[in-house]
Amino acid sequence: MSRPPAARLRGEGRTQPPPHRVTALPSGLRVVTLEMPAMESVSLGIWIGTGGRYESPRLNGVSHFLEHLLFKGTDRRSARRLSQEIESVGGSLNGFTGEEYTCYMAKVLHRHLRRAANVLFDMYLHASLKAEDVEKERTVIREEINMYLDMPAQHVTDLFNAVLWPGQPLGRPLVGTAETVGAFTPDDLRAYRARHYLPKNTVVAAAGKVAHEELVRIVERLAPGGPGRPAPRSAPAADRQRRPALLLCDKKTEQTHLCVGVRGYRREHPDRYALHLLSIALGENMSSRLFQSVRERHGLAYAIGSSVIRYRDTGAFSVHAGVENNKFLRALRLILRELASVRDEGLRPAELARAKEYWTGQFAMEFEKTTRNMLGIGEGLLLTGRVLTKEEILSNIARVGLDDVRRVAADIFRERRLNLAAIGPAVGGTAAHDALHL
């Protein structure tokens, strides 16, 4: 007998001190570290709680554009000097933008922690955002947009998001469009930074050979002081779906690329572990159901897999594949058959056991890396206000039972919740719509 979902997760009433440490500065900026004394390196990141879902239609893509510009130089350092200061000591400098966060990160030998922090905070606080740099980067990002449009395996994901969240920020491309990117002004970028790049909306995370007190002292010296104002909040995601939805793009391609799936669970949903295990069993490795069925037994695809994404208040489960053009409908029906099967019959005990072993094994190996740990503690603290320990996560995985997975599959795999995006020749018409049922 399964326990109620709310009773399954651990993390409350902790008796052992966590391996990470958190300090909140008077400004509201938070510092979190995970010390790995055996390492020689440290990964450091500045996380800001803004991304694609915080943008208006006119500013679609501005978070990503701003991320690019912070690498173009500051009032104190040129773009070349920013990278040279890190690379000259064997380190790396990078950044990325998501729907709910932006992160600037560096990895260096531990003795160069202060140098890395100086560079990252200079970018965070003093990026020059010159008009000439805006124009140069506008051209670069337009080419990035064109590159994604020429990559159907990537573009189909954007189309799928547009079906899942029509007319909402989560349904717009993270990089923006040629039209929106072409209209940004330096004032737009400065105003967006001023609204969102705030101490209360920022987390500094480090993992590796790092002393928490040392990093706090460094951040106190570099970060702005005094109480800061809170950052704007994003609008909640709306779910008005009552019937299957699809978006088909007729394009001359060598393969038809499809993405089919349903809305899933929010970031902190009690059933998130059961859903992830379901995804692993269905399509996250070569022994999964979908890989064995669609690729190995029927030879319809080279690449096929499933994935789960989670946001603050919503999420999604999806299956993505590239198939022979004339076998698109057959592959789609096979995928939906597997989803219906697990909904109606659940997983076999051996499948759930393998999924747990796969996840815990992958998870344990990832925890050996400083960058992976920095990403985990930074994202966790920024978006949920807490960091689960490795032991808590592994315990939550272990507690998922067969009944939990079947209940989750029955909850999300409903015909009216189905969504499909596809790119390829002759994908239009009514045949795809007719096939979209469980």
pLDDT digits (tens, 9 = 90+) for 329-357: 999 999 999 999 999 999 999 999 999 99
Is the residue at 7 inside a domain? no
pLDDT at 8 > cutoff 70: no
Q: pTM here? A: 0.93
Q: How many domains does the chain have?
A: 2
Do 176 and 56 fall within a single domain?
A: yes
What pLDDT is stored for residue 2 in this prediction?
Answer: 36
pLDDT at 319 > cutoff 70: yes
With tokens 């992958």, the residue in question is 362
Structural domain containing residue 143: 19-222
Is the residue at 111 inside a domain? yes
How is 216-275 classified by DSSP, letter by letter?
HHHHHHHS--S--PPPPPPPPPP----S-EEEEEE---SEEEEEEEEE---TT-TTHHHH
What pLDDT is stored for residue 7 in this prediction?
Answer: 34
What pLDDT is stored for residue 211 in this prediction?
Answer: 97
Give SS3 for 126.
helix
Dihedral sign for Cα 10, 16, 20, 22, please. Answer: positive
Q: How confident is the model at residue 167 (pLDDT cuts 50, 70, 90)?
A: very high
Model confidence pLDDT, tens digit, residues 183-239: 999 999 999 999 999 999 999 999 999 999 999 999 999 998 877 788 889 999 999
pLDDT at 326 > cutoff 50: yes
What pLDDT is stored for residue 15 in this prediction?
Answer: 45
What pLDDT is stored for residue 12 in this prediction?
Answer: 40
Do 201 and 319 fall within a single domain?
A: no
What pLDDT is stored for residue 311 in this prediction?
Answer: 97
What pLDDT is stored for residue 224 in this prediction?
Answer: 84
Distance CA 135, CA 140 (A): 9
Give the mean pLDDT of 254-260: 95
Cβ contacts of 330 within 8 Å, gap of 6 or more? 298, 300
CB atoms closer than 10 angstroms to residue 163: 20
Do 69 and 159 fall within a single domain?
A: yes
Give SS3 for 51.
coil
φ, ψ (nearest 5 deg) of residue 184: -65, 140
Do 96 and 133 fall within a single domain?
A: yes
Do 333 and 213 fall within a single domain?
A: no
pLDDT at 5 > cutoff 50: no
Q: How confident is the model at residue 427 (pLDDT cuts 50, 70, 90)?
A: confident
Please indicate whether residue 147 or residue 15 has the higher confidence score (pLDDT).
147
Q: How confident is the model at residue 395 (pLDDT cuts 50, 70, 90)?
A: very high
Do 309 and 209 fall within a single domain?
A: no
Q: How confident is the model at residue 10 (pLDDT cuts 50, 70, 90)?
A: very low
| Residue type (1 letter), 321 | A
Do 196 and 259 fall within a single domain?
A: no
pLDDT at 13 > cutoff 50: no
Is the residue at 415 inside a domain? yes
Do 188 and 254 fall within a single domain?
A: no
Length of the chain: 438
pLDDT at 423 > cutoff 90: yes
Do 120 and 166 fall within a single domain?
A: yes
Mean pLDDT score of the chain: 93
Q: How confident is the model at residue 14 (pLDDT cuts 50, 70, 90)?
A: very low
Contact 387, 380 (CB under 8 A): yes
pLDDT at 102 > cutoff 80: yes
Is the residue at 11 inside a domain? no
Is the residue at 13 inside a domain? no
Domain boundary among 172, 189, 222: 222
Distance CA 160, CA 173 (A): 10
Is the residue at 236 inside a domain? no
Do 134 and 30 fall within a single domain?
A: yes
Model confidence pLDDT, tens digit, residues 132-155: 999 999 999 999 999 999 999 999
Q: What is the CATH number of the domain that holds 23?
A: 3.30.830.10
What pLDDT is stored for residue 17 in this prediction?
Answer: 59
Is the residue at 356 inside a domain? yes
Which stretch of 45-49, 235-239, 264-268 has the lowest confidence by average pLDDT? 235-239
Is the residue at 280 inside a domain? yes
Clarify whether 67 is annotated catalytic.
yes
Q: What percent of the chain has pLDDT over 90?
A: 89
Do 218 and 254 fall within a single domain?
A: no
pLDDT at 4 > cutoff 90: no
Do 205 and 271 fall within a single domain?
A: no
Model confidence pLDDT, tens digit, residues 22-33: 999 999 999 999
Contact 160, 150 (CB under 8 A): no
What pLDDT is stored for residue 22 in this prediction?
Answer: 97
Catalytic position from the list 67, 284, 351, 379: 67
